[in-house]
Amino acid sequence: MSDQSTDTNKAQRPDRRALSSAARLYAVQALFQMEASSQGADRIQQEFLTYRIDVDHPDGRTPEADEALFGRIVDDAVTWQSRIDQATDRGLVAKWPIDRIDPVLRALFRAAGAELVTPKTPPKVVIVEYVRLAEAFFPDGREPKFVNAVLDHMAREIRPDAF
């Protein structure tokens, strides 16, 4: 096989990291939408799979995502929400329980918590990925540092064996 053929095959293969990052972004958005609209996980996931993930829009094509990871994060966030919220509360300042923080941050903590509760992804990867999302959602604020601190606390509580 020629070098050019190898390069073409690499270019056609989806970047697993990009697909995972997109799945995390969509999961945070889906969890936010679930809370804002009081709709269930199944309905929101179907909406995302039909209308948002890897679809043509007048403004351009939306990014592909690891649909299995997207579904797992949303499902696990719902299944383990109480445990995740409790761990988040313990990582927050006592005067700021999870129900008082920005709803985007709440969705972000729940998505990250879903990945921490299930040991498929190393905690350090979870923290880095969700801090990057916080930087995208809050480019000019202190939120990324706040997210880093809270997720570090959550990860050490939920998965102490990984540290």
Let me know if residue 5 belongs to a domain. no
Q: Classify burial at 118, counting beta carbons within 10 Å of its beta carbon; exposed 0-12, middle 13-18, buried 19 or more.
A: middle
Let me know if residue 8 belongs to a domain. no
> At 138, is the secondary structure helix, strand, or coil?
coil
- Cα dihedral 139, 67, 156, 153 sign: positive
Let me know if residue 11 belongs to a domain. no
Q: Say what the pTM is.
A: 0.88
The predicted structure's pLDDT at residue 94: 67
Q: Which domain holds residue 67?
A: 16-162
Let me know if residue 71 belongs to a domain. yes
The predicted structure's pLDDT at residue 12: 63
Query: For the chain, what is the radius of gyration of the CA atoms?
Result: 17
- Cα dihedral 106, 107, 110, 112 sign: negative
- The CATH number given to whatever domain includes residue 68 is 1.10.940.10
Let me know if residue 141 belongs to a domain. yes
Mean pLDDT (10-residue bins), the chain, 163 residues: 50 81 97 96 96 83 91 98 95 78 96 95 97 96 94 96 90
The number of domains in the chain is 1
